[in-house]
Structure 1
Amino acid sequence: MSTVLNIGIVLSFFLSILLFAKDNKALTDNILSLWLVTIGIHLTGYYINYNGYWELYPHLIGITTPLPFLYGPFLYLYLVYSIRRSSHLKPIDYLHYAPALLSYLYMMPFYFFYSAEEKVAVDKGLINDYSVFSTVLLIGFLVSGIGYSIISYRKLLQHKKMVLDNFSYDSGISLNWLKYAIVAIGLVFITAAIVLVLREAIGFEFPFNADILFYSIIVGFVVFVGYSGIRQEGLFLNTINNEKELVTAGSEYKKSGLKTETAIEKHKELLHLMEAEKPYLNPKLTLNELSLRLEMSANNMSQLINQYEHVNFYDFVNKYRVEEFITRAQSNTDFSLLAHALDSGFNSKSSFNTVFKKLKLETPSQYLANLNKEDAFPKN
C-alpha cells in the first residue's frame, strides 16, 4: 500500500510541475495542475495516517479531511473550460468549492483549540464531538463525487452532440479521454460507497485493507489524466470566430422561423450545392461555412439537415465523402486508399475508417473487394 501511495504522491506533484511549466498554458492546465496538487496532498495525508504518523504528530490529524469535496468541482470546471473559450474562472464558479471551505471553517475549533490528546481521542472515536459531522461529511463526499460525475458526463454528451452538429471532422476535438476520466472519478466514489456500506452498515470485514481499492484507482487516475492533460491542446479549436455561430444542443428549431416552402427549396439548393460544388472536399468544413453559401443561418441549416436528411451535420457531410472516396478508388488504382480518402475530404486515417465502417458496415478494403467481385460476376 505504501508503494502505491508513494507512486501517486510523486506523480501528482511531478505532473503538476510539468503543467505549470508548460508553454502556452491554458486555464485548463492551471485547473488540472491545482487538482493534481490537491490529489498529492490528499494522498500524502492518507500516507501519514496509514503509517501511523498521526499518533506521533497528532496536530496533522484531519488536515486533509475535506479535500474529497474538491474532486468533483475540479472535474466539472476542467471539462467546462475545455469546451469554453476563457482565460479565467467566473466568480460564480468559486461556489463549487464552498462545501470544502465550509468544512474547513467548521473544523477550525478542532485544528486550533483541541489539544494533541483530544485530537487523538476524536480520531479514535473516544470523543464524539465530530461524529455526526463525520457521517455528514462522508455522505457529502459520495453525493458530490457521484453527482459531479453524472453532471459532467451529461455535459460531455451535450458537447459531443454540438460538435457533430457543427463540424465535419473530429480530429483534435476527441472527447474519449475525458469520458474515461469522468468514469474513473465516478468509480472512485462508487467504490468508496460500496466499501463504506459493507464495512460500516453491514459490518463486513475485508481480508485486506479495502482503502487500497479506491486509492489505487486515484493513482491510476493521476497517471492517465496527468499524461492526457499535458498532451491536450483543448477541445474547442479556433475553427470559428464567434461561439454564437454554433448550433448548440437543445436548439429550438420550431422557433427558427423557417417555413415549409422555404425549407423544401433550400433543401434542393443544398443537395445541388453538395453535388455540383463539392464543398465537402474541404476537410475543415463547418456548418456555419456551409450555411453562408446558401445564405442561411446556421440554426436553419441544422434544422434542414436534421429534418430532411435525418442525420447530423457530421454524418451528412461524411456521407458525401465516402461516396467520393468510392468513386475515386474505383476509377484510379494507382493511389493508395488513404490518398483517396484525404482527397475526398477526410483529414485523418482513423476518422475515415470509423466513418466508412459506420456507413457501409465494412472496412474500405473489404467494401471495394466486394464491389470488384460484383463487377467481375455481374448479375443477369
Structure 2
Amino acid sequence: MRLELLDIINIITIAPLFLYSGFLFFSKKANAKSNRFLSYFLFTNGVYLLNFLFVRLREQIDYNLIFFFYIGSSFSFIFGPSLLFYTKSIAYKNFRLQKKDVVHFIPFFLSLLYYFMGLEEFGIEYYGIKYFQIIIYFIPIFKIIQEYNSRIKDYFSAIESLNLKRLVVIYVVFLILWGIDVSDYISIAILGTRNFFVGTYLIYTSLIINFVFANLLLIFSLTHSENQIENEEKATKYKNSNLDNSQKKEYSIKLKDLLEQEKVFLKNDLTLNHISSKLEISTRNLSQIINEIFQKNFYDLINFYRVEEAKKALLTHGKNKTILEIIYEVGFNSKSAFNTAFRKNTGLTPSEFKQKFGK
C-alpha cells in the first residue's frame, strides 16, 4: 500500500486519538464520568479522520471497507454533544444524562439514515449543516465555563488552579481547527471547486492542529482537579431554604468565631465544605449565610480575613519578613492572588500600605 505524506500525518493523528480514548474510557480516576465523555469525543474524532483516510485510499483497499468507514463523516455530529456533556460533567457535580438529551444525537442518526438509504455522497448543504452545528454548540459550552469560573468563588478560597481558563484556550484551538475546515467549505461553496494548493495546505494544517488539540485535551483531563459546583439557577438558589433569621444570626456568629478566633482562613486550601463540616451545616445554607449576612461570596470573605492578617504582619513583622513569606503565612497560594485581594480590600498595594502606615 502506497502512503503519501498526508496519509502518514493522518495516521499519526488518528493513532493517539484511539489510544487516548481507550485510556480515558477505562480510567479509574475520580473524574471517571467526565473522562468517559472525553473518551467518546476522541473516539468519534478518530473515526471521522479514519473516514478521510479510507476515502483517500479507496483505490488501494477493499470496497466494503470504504463503504463501512465512509459513514465516519456522520460522527462529526457527535463532536458538539460530547464536548457539551464533557464540559457539564467537569463543571457540575450533579450532572446526569437525561432522556431528553437524546435529542442531541438526532442529527447523527439522521445522517446515518440518509447515507444508508441514499447510498450517495453528501452534498454541499450537508457539510454546511455539519460545520455550523458544531460552532453553535460552543455558545452553551462557553456560557457554562463562564458561569463556573464566576461561581467557584462561592465554594473555594483558592481558585487560581480551579478555573477553566485552560479549557477555554483548548476549545479555541479546536475552533481554529474547525474554522479551517469551514473556510475550505466556504471556498468550495463560493467558487464551486477547491484550489488544490489551498485545499492541501488547509488539510495539513487541520491535521497538525487536531493532533495538538487532542494532546492538550488529554493533559487537561489528567491534571484538572475534580472541583464541581452545584448546577442551580441563581434566582431559585435559596428559594427552599429552611433557615430563619435567628438561625442565620446564630451561624454567622459561629462562623465569625471560626474566622477570628481559630483563624481557619490560614489554611491555604480552605473550602466551603471544610467550614460547613465544622459548623455542622449544609454547604448551601452556609453559602446563603455568607451571601446574605456578610454580603460576600466565600472567596472574598476568606480573602478579606487573609488581607487583615497580612496588614497586621506587614506592620509588625515587615522588617523581619519578606512580603512573600507573609503571603504564604496568611493563606494565599500566589503573589498575584494576594496583590489582587490586597488592593481590592485596601485600595493600596502592599508596598504602598507599608509606606503609608509603617513606622
TM-score of the aligned structures, taking structure 1 as reference length: 0.72
| Equivalent residue for 2:154, pick from 165, 171, 175 | 165
Unaligned runs of 5+ in 1: 112-121, 124-129, 237-242
Question: Which residue in 2 is equivalent to 1:220?
Answer: 212
| Among 243, 265, 278, the residue aligned to 2:263 | 278
- The match for 1:317 is 302
Q: 1:331 to 1:203 in 2, by over 3 A?
A: farther
Select 1:155's aligned residue among 126, 130, 144: 144
The alignment status of 1:106 with 2:147, answered yes or no, reads no
**Alignment partners' CA distance in 2, 1:369 and 1:108:** 71
The answer on whether the counterparts of 2:10 and 2:53 sit within 8 Å (CA) in structure 1 is: yes
Counterpart for residue 42 of structure 1: 48
Find the aligned partners of 2:28 and 2:309 in 1 and give their Cα distance. 40
Q: State the alpha-carbon separation in 2 of the partners of residues 294 and 251 from structure 1.
A: 26
Match of 1:140 in 2: 129
Give 1:224 deviation, angstroms.
Answer: 0.7
What is the number of residues matched between the two proteins?
341
- Contact kept in structure 1, 2:157 and 2:298, CA below 8 Å: yes
Task: Structure 2: give runs of 5+ residues left out of the alignment.
Answer: 1-5
Matched residue SS, 1:227: helix
Aligned equivalents of 1:204 and 1:327: distance in 2? 71
Between the aligned partners of 2:80 and 2:9, the Cα distance in structure 1 is 23
- Name the counterpart of 1:115: none
- How far off its partner does 1:156 sit? 1.8
> Alignment identity in percent?
23
- SS of the residue corresponding to residue 64 of structure 1 reads helix
Within a 5 Å distance, the mapping from 1:186-265 to structure 2 comes to: 186-201=175-190, 206=195, 207-209=197-199, 210-236=202-228, 248-252=232-236, 255=239
Aligned to 1:239: none
1:53 and 2:57 correspond? yes
Is 2:42 the partner of 1:32? no
**Offset of residue 68 of structure 1:** 0.9
1:192, distance to aligned residue in structure 2 (A): 3.1
RMSD over aligned Cα atoms? 3.9
Distance 1:172 1:372 in 2: 29
What does residue 114 of structure 1 align with?
none
Superposed CA deviations along residues 240-269 of structure 1, whole A, max 9, x for unmatched, are xxx8xx584514468469889998998788
Instruction: Choose which of 336, 339, 343 in structure 2 pairs with 1:354.
Output: 336
Query: How far apart in 1 are the matches of 2:25 and 2:242?
Result: 48
**1:66 Cα shift?**
0.5
> Which residue type is aligned with residue 188 of structure 1?
L
**8 Å CA contact retained: 1:305, 1:313:** yes
Task: Give the structure 1 partner of residue 72 of structure 2.
Answer: 64
Indicate the larger mover: 292-301 or 6-15: 292-301
Partner SS state of residue 167, structure 1: coil
Counterparts of 1:197 and 1:228, CA distance in 2: 32
Shift of 1:78: 1.2
Structure 1 window deviating more from structure 2 (169-178 vs 27-36): it is: 169-178
Name which of 14, 17, 35 aligns with 2:19. Answer: 14
What amino acid does structure 2 have at the position aligned with 1:167? Answer: F
Q: Distance in 2 between matches of 1:297 and 1:217?
A: 45
Q: TM-score, normalised by structure 2?
A: 0.75
Partner of 2:327: 341
- The alpha-carbon deviation at position 102 of structure 1 amounts to 2.5
Say if 1:356 and 1:204 are closer, same or farther in 2 by CA, change over 3 A: farther
Cα separation, partners in 2 of 1:32 and 1:301, compared to 1, 3 Å = closer
Counterpart code for 1:250: K
C-alpha deviations, 1:295-334, integer Å up to 9, x for none?
Answer: 9875565455446766432122112212313423443355
Structure 1 residues 289 and 181 mapped into 2: Cα distance closer, same or farther (>3 Å)? same
Output one character per residue of 1:187-240: Cα deviation in whole Å (capped at 9) or x when no partner.
33344333322331255865422334444432221121122223344333xxxx
Once residues 304 and 203 of structure 2 are traced to their aligned partners in structure 1, the CA distance between those partners, rounded to angstroms, is 50
Matched AA of 2:198: F
Classify 1:375/1:320 alpha carbon distance in 2 versus 1 (closer, same or farther; 3 Å).
Answer: closer
Kept in 2, the 8 Å contact 1:247–1:302? The answer is no
SS in 1 for 2:58: helix
Question: SS in structure 2 opposite 1:315?
Answer: helix
